[in-house]
Amino acid sequence: MGKETNNLTPRQFYEAVKCIYKQNRIVTNHFGNSSNAERVTRGRSHTASSQCEDLLAVYIAANIERFSCIHVDQPLTMAIKSKKSEVLYPDISLVVNNARGERTITDLIDLKTDIGWNRKGFDVFLGDKKEFLCRIRGKTLSVSNSLKRQMEHNQKNCGCSELKVSLRCNYHVVVVSEENAGATPSWGKRRESAEEHEAKGVYLHTLSSGLHPNEYTRKRGYSGKGSLHHSQFNRLIQHLSCSVQESTN
């Protein structure tokens, strides 16, 4: 078993993910009368991905102190000469204050609860992330007005109006579970493919296998024993802890 990270452990993270999936099967009821809700059944669960993004961001914040701000699903606008500005939606953006006092994105994270949707192929998916990095490195991104208004409403100010993207910014694809990904290609092949992109700053981390957190049933609970990849949790934290916070200028 790998060494546990500080404050929040991989086990705590995964148990919280399972709790999210379990709760998302329950019909939302804000009216206080449970007898009405008993006649309402839900087929597909509420979407879990956004809550899992929050959870991973909190896990990172609990285990790494270097980030001055962590943005979750925050729209970022990139100006393009002679074209309409492009709005980017990274799942998680990790920001540090560099030596010049500039707020700089050192790492971006794409969290996947599964990859069963991927029809083009995993290698193509990772290649797209590599091309995305090439486009945004060295650029300055504007934070949307919605965050500024939210900060004013909450009487908080993270100070992020513009974010520079480090010339060495990395992109991490974090997969919660290897289940529900299809048998072809194998995860061994997917890892080999991912290793070819690491030189360009794209990294793959798979956090568990053997059990997907959506396999809970009311009668049986969780019938299997998923395997946590402690080494992958540690690898993610290590990469994020030492990523270069180089200024764009």
- Where would I find the beta strands (DSSP E) of the chain? 69-72, 76-78, 86-88, 92-97, 103-112, 140-143, 162-175, 202-206, 208-209, 227-228
Instruction: Of 92, 113, 105, 209, give the one whose Cα is nearest residue 167.
Output: 105
Contact 164, 104 (CB under 8 A): yes
- Residues 106, 104: Cα–Cα separation, whole Å: 6
Q: Give the number of other CB atoms < 10 A from CB of residue 35.
A: 6
pLDDT for 136-171, tens place per residue?
999 999 987 655 555 555 545 577 889 999 999 999
Residue 53's domain spans which residues?
A: 10-242
Between CA 166 and CA 80 the distance in angstroms is: 18
Tell me the per-residue pLDDT of 178-198, one tens digit each, with 9 for 90 and over.
Answer: 886 666 678 888 888 899 999
* Overall size of the chain counted in residues: 249
Asked whether residue 247 is assigned to any structural domain, the reply reads no
pLDDT (tens digit per residue) in 37-90: 778 888 887 888 899 999 999 999 999 999 999 999 999 999 877 678 889 999
Residue type at 71?
H
Confirm whether 155 is domain-assigned: yes
Hunting for tokens 């959506």 — which residue is that?
A: 214
Residue 3 has a CB neighbour count (10 Å cut-off) of 9
Asked whether residue 178 is domain-assigned, the answer is yes
In a domain, 27, yes or no: yes
| pLDDT tops 90 at residue 28 | no
3-state secondary structure 170-223: EEEEEECCCCCCCCCCCHHHHHHHHHCCHHHCEEEEECEECCCHHHCECCCECC
Q: Answer yes or no: is 92 within a domain.
A: yes
Check residue 90 and give its pLDDT. 95
> Residue 225's pLDDT is what?
67
Q: Residue 152: which H helix or E strand, with range?
A: helix 145-153
| Least confident stretch, 29-33, 92-96, 231-235 | 29-33
Structural domain includes residue 3: no
Q: Is the dihedral of CA 26, 28, 31, 36 positive or negative?
A: negative
123 — pLDDT class (breaks 50, 70, 90): confident
What confidence score (pLDDT) does residue 3 get?
A: 46
> Quick one: pLDDT at residue 247?
44
Say how many domains are in the chain. 1
Residue at 111 is within a domain: yes
The per-residue pLDDT for 204 is 94
pLDDT of residue 116: 63
In terms of pLDDT, which residue wins out, 43 or 234?
234
Strands 162-175 and 103-112 turn out to be: parallel
Beta strands at 202-206 and 162-175: parallel, antiparallel or unpaired: parallel
- Among 202, 231, 232, residue whose Cα is nearest residue 107: 202
The mean of the pLDDT values for the chain is: 82
Show Cβ contacts of residue 161 under 8 Å, excluding neighbours closer than 6 positions: 142, 143, 148
pTM of the full structure: 0.85
User: What's the pLDDT at 43?
Assistant: 81
Q: For position 233, what pLDDT does the model report? A: 96
Residue 189: its pLDDT value, please? 84
Query: Which of 96-105, 139-148, 170-179 is the most confident on average?
Result: 170-179
What is the percent of the chain where pLDDT is above 90? Answer: 44
212 within some domain: yes
Task: Return d(Cα 229, Cα 208) in angstroms, integer.
Answer: 5
